[in-house]
């Protein structure tokens, strides 16, 4: 009753048609690695200026907050809190740790992307074999 289909061996199974193999040229992978590395290097170089800007802006921002609190009638309490918190000292103390952590994260993200870009062709080939 069933009709005859091309590739049908009359046992209920059809042969799979070969799917085209997706080959990514090596030059595309290398270009991706170069672009990924350039982006990561840019992020690496931006860590120092951004952290410097944050630490430099902390004092004036704390003064602005104290001035705003003074405008609402809480000036003495806000000034005492700002002085007790010692924002500049706190950022100077934590700056080295933050610098180390941020640069480590940039490095780990770069390595993860590098591994992913190198593994893409193998993963795609493996996926093609399963189908």
Residue-wise pLDDT for 28-54, tens only, equals 889 999 999 999 999 999 999 998 888
97 pLDDT higher than 70: yes
Strand partners, 14: 8
C-beta separation of 5 from 14 below 8 A: yes
59 pLDDT higher than 90: no
Q: What is the pTM of this model?
A: 0.62
How far is Cα of residue 78 from the mean position of the Cα atoms in its chain? 37
pLDDT at 103: 95
Q: What b/e readout covers 81-106, taking b as 16+ CB neighbours within 10 angstroms? A: ebeeeebeeebeeeeeeeeeebeeeb
Q: What is the DSSP string of 73-115?
A: T-HHHHHHHHHHHTHHHHHHHHHHHHHHHHHHHHHHHHHHHHH
């Amino acid at each position: 009753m069933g009709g005859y289909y091309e590739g049908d061996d009359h046992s209920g199974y059809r042969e799979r048609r070969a799917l085209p193999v997706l080959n990514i040229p090596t030059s595309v992978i290398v270009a991706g690695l170069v672009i990924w590395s350039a982006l990561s290097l840019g992020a690496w170089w931006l860590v120092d200026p951004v952290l410097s800007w944050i630490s430099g802006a902390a004092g004036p921002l704390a003064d602005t907050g104290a001035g705003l609190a003074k405008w609402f009638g809480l000036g003495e309490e806000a000034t005492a809190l700002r002085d007790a918190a010692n924002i500049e000292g706190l950022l100077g103390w934590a700056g080295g740790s933050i610098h180390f952590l941020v640069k480590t994260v940039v490095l780990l993200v770069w390595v993860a992307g590098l591994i992913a870009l190198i593994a893409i062709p193998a993963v795609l080939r493996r996926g093609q074999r399963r189908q």
